[in-house]
């Protein structure tokens, strides 16, 4: 076995071979061991170096300026969009929208791109959106700018259609941006109450402003990652849901409001008056079915009207009510038991009081009128004589109870309280003039509510413009649900006063025969008051004419009050306010299906 290297014949080879192989590899490993260890160490050091570079980088990224990188990453793929809250709509009492929010867009152009094809683009836009071609042309080709408004507040569908059409023609440079549209479908109807939204989409006036907090809602926000315009699933998202604004329901009936506005406009224009207001009130609930003002404005285009026309005159302007106020005095006198409708009053042709002389609007000699006659003929002197049975305080208390000199709290921005001076400051002449409606100032709604107390059986109901209840931006809770009632005069006094008022619409006895509605018993009262001019703060020879009335007189449903300021056709409350009252009242009776009561008005005793 000395030559172990040579295989012996007959010996199985496989037995030795592995041994031999093992022996040689062992030898090889032993030979390499030194260098391999070195290599391992070198390798380890290298790896350690690389890993520490990574670690350093990691620390830099995560530890030192992590926020900056997060922000950078966000900016790259994360999108934050505002989820706009839908502004609540304003509806009438039947749920018909008076103000509605519509998804809208504005069209903007980059004139540096559009200038080339300005005329053709302008043609497309002008045709589709009914805009002025030349105006568009100059905007589309305006030099030195990258941004021009073309159209604001375009309903989204129409705006997208226009952009699509422009792109179809192969033109570029027109883009859209969000621009919510507040639409007032009935245009000028109830605009005086609703107000408007200005170009910056902020509430400008009226209910929009007064209930802005309720209507506006709260915008939401969505943050998510996008890739190629699509949201990346499982990506970082966070959503704050928007809170839509709440709707506001008014007590207004749109159709009645429209009709009242048209009748009022005709009355004001027909008499060449300065302005006018009309109030339609539900007798029992105090809800206003219509509150019209003229001149008014189109709520869609408030900028076209002067600023003074943008509010509600019926609540902001004060004026002296004149003779309509006599019915308050008369009912108070009856309630106090001082007079009856048949009390005989001798009315001289003029009445000296202190240093002043009181006249009637019509020239007459000595008249023998009953109290009914005084109301029917609207005699100042007769009223003064009857009212002189009151102390200052008594009359003042009654008028306060009728709501004079106090805001109605109806929920309209800038409502006036009217003027009713404290009784301690009155002199005799003050009481005398206040008794027939001069020297006291009211707004139209206040006066309507006061007369309504007589229609409502002597119970004053505070008027309301908002159905249910709503909180104004000032934190005041208003609405028909918060309406209050209190008795002013007895039921009997109210009924007797209503009967006296029927004599007014009686063509034979009263000052406003035209106001009556055939087949119905109608109670009313005319008013023609001297008006204080805005310049001299004195009676300047102009007048305020008005008519207040309710029907059916023995079971009232509606109260209508029409006021026209400064008519120039020489008309009075009967000839100007009467026909308007007649039209509005007959419309109401028909629309709300109020049949005549079937009773006959007693023949009034005017004289004795």
Partner 1 sequence: MSTQLFGAGSRMPRIAEAAVERARLTVVPRARRRTPRVPFVALLSLLLVGGVAGLLLLNTTMQQTSFTATSLEARATSLEAQQQGLQMDVDSLRDPQRVALQARRMGMVPETTPAFIRLGDGAVLGKALPATGADAIRLNPLPTVKPKNLRSRTIRVIEKNPDVRGAASPDALTATGTKNSQNR
Q: Which residues bind partner 1 (CB under 8 A)?
A: 96-97, 100, 102-103, 155-158, 160, 183, 185-187, 189, 229-234, 254-255, 258-259, 262-263, 265-266, 269, 517-520, 582-583, 586-587, 589-590, 593-596, 598
In terms of residues, how long is the chain?
Answer: 608
Torsion angle in degrees (nearest 10) through CA of 99, 82, 177, 208: 20
Radius of gyration (C-alpha) of the chain in whole angstroms: 42
Nearer to partner 1, 97 or 126 (CB): 97
State the burial class of residue 123 (Cβ atoms within 10 Å of its Cβ: 0-12, 13-18, 19+): middle
d(CA 463, CA 467): 11
CB 420 within 8 A of CB 440: yes
Q: Which residues contact 237 (CB under 8 A, 6 or more apart)?
A: 222, 223, 224, 225, 231
CA distances from 590 to 335, 545, 583 (A): 33, 26, 11
Nearer to partner 1, 4 or 598 (CB): 598
CB 137 within 8 A of CB 124: no
d(CA 518, CA 530): 32
Is the preceding peptide bond at 307 cis, omega within 30 degrees of 0?
Answer: no
If phi > 0 it is left, if psi is from -120 to 50 it is alpha, else beta; for residue 479 that is left
Query: What is the per-residue burial (b if ≥16 Cβ within 10 Å, else e) of 180-197?
Result: bbbbbebebbbbbbbbbb
**Three-class SS state of 518:** coil
Tokens describing residue 572: 């009075």
CB 483 within 8 A of CB 498: no
CB of 267 to partner 1, least distance (A): 10
Axis-axis angle for helices 578-591, 254-270 (nearest 10): 160
CB of 266 to partner 1, least distance (A): 5
Nearest CA to 184 among 254, 245, 130? 254
- Long-range CB contact pairs, 110-113, < 8 A, 24+: 110/146, 110/147, 110/148, 110/173, 110/175, 111/139, 111/140, 111/141, 111/142, 111/143, 111/145, 111/146, 111/148, 111/173, 112/145, 112/146, 112/173, 113/172, 113/173
Nearer to partner 1, 254 or 495 (CB): 254
CB of 97 to partner 1, least distance (A): 6
CA distances from 583 to 189, 261, 365 (A): 18, 11, 35
CB of 263 to partner 1, least distance (A): 6
CB of 602 to partner 1, least distance (A): 19
3-state secondary structure labels for all residues of 157-197:
HHHHHHHHHHHHCCCCCEEEEECCEEECCCCCCCHHHHCCE
Nearer to partner 1, 116 or 175 (CB): 175
Tell me how crowded residue 305 is: count the other CB atoms within 10 A of its CB.
17
CB 451 within 8 A of CB 422: no
CB of 268 to partner 1, least distance (A): 10
d(CA 156, CA 176): 9
d(CA 566, CA 545): 8
Is the preceding peptide bond at 588 cis, omega within 30 degrees of 0?
Answer: no
CB 315 within 8 A of CB 414: yes
């Amino acid at each position: 076995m000395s030559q172990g290297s040579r295989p012996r014949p007959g010996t199985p080879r496989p037995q030795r071979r592995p041994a031999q192989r093992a022996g040689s590899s062992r030898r090889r490993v032993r030979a390499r061991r030194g260098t391999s260890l070195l290599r391992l160490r070198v390798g380890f050091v290298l790896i350690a170096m690389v890993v520490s570079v990574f670690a350093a980088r990691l620390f830099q990224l995560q530890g030192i300026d992590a926020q900056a990188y997060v922000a950078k990453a966000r900016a790259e793929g994360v999108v934050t969009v505002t989820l706009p809250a839908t502004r609540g709509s304003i509806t009438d009492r039947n749920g018909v929208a008076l103000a509605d929010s519509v998804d809208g867009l504005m069209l903007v152009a980059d004139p540096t791109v559009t200038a080339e094809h300005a005329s053709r683009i302008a043609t497309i836009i002008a045709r589709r959106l009914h805009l002025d071609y030349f105006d568009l042309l100059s905007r589309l080709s305006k030099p030195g700018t990258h941004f021009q408004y073309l159209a604001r507040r375009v309903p989204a569908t129409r705006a997208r259609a226009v952009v699509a059409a422009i792109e179809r023609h192969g033109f570029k440079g027109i883009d859209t941006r969000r621009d919510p549209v507040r639409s007032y479908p009935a245009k000028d109807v109830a605009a005086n109450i609703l107000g408007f939204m200005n170009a910056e989409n902020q509430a400008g006036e009226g209910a929009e402003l007064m209930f802005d907090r309720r209507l506006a809602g709260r915008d939401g926000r969505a943050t998510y990652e996008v890739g190629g315009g699509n949201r990346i699933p499982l990506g970082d998202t966070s959503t704050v849901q928007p809170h839509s604004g709440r709707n506001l329901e008014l007590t207004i009936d749109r159709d009645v409001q429209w009709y009242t506005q048209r009748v009022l406009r005709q009355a004001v224009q027909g008499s060449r008056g300065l302005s006018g207001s009309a109030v339609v009130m539900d007798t029992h609930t105090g809800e206003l079915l219509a509150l019209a003002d003229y001149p008014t404005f189109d709520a869609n285009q408030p900028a076209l009207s002067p600023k003074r026309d943008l509010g509600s005159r019926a609540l902001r302007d004060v004026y002296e009510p004149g003779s309509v106020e006599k019915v308050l005095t008369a009912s108070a006198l009856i309630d106090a038991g001082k007079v009856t409708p048949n009390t005989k009053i001798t009315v001289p042709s003029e009445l000296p009081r202190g240093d002043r002389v009181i006249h009637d609007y019509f020239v007459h000699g000595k008249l023998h009128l009953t109290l009914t006659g005084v109301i029917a003929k609207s005699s100042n002197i007769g009223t003064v004589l009857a009212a002189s049975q009151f102390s200052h305080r008594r009359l003042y208390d009654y008028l306060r109870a009728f709501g004079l000199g106090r805001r109605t709290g109806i929920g309209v921005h800038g409502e006036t309280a009217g003027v009713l001076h404290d009784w301690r400051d009155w002199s005799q002449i003050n009481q005398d003039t206040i008794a027939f409606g001069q020297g006291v100032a009211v707004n139209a709604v206040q006066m309507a509510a006061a007369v309504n107390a007589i229609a409502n059986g002597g119970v004053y109901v505070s008027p309301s413009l908002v159905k249910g209840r709503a909180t104004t931006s000032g934190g005041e809770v208003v609405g028909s649900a918060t309406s209050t009632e209190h008795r002013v005069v007895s039921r009997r006094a109210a009924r007797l006063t209503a009967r006296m008022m029927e004599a007014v619409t009686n063509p034979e006895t009263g000052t406003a025969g035209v106001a009556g509605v055939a087949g119905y018993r109608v109670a009313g009262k005319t008013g023609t008051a001297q008006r204080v001019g805005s310049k001299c703060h004195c009676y300047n020879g102009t007048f305020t004419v008005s008519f207040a009335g309710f029907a059916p007189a023995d079971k009232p449903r509606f109260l209508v009050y029409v006021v026209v300021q400064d008519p120039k056709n020489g008309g009075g409350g009967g000839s100007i306010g009467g026909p308007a009252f007649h039209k509005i009242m007959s419309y109401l009776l028909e629309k709300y299906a109020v049949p005549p009561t079937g009773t006959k008005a007693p023949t009034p005793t005017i004289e004795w």
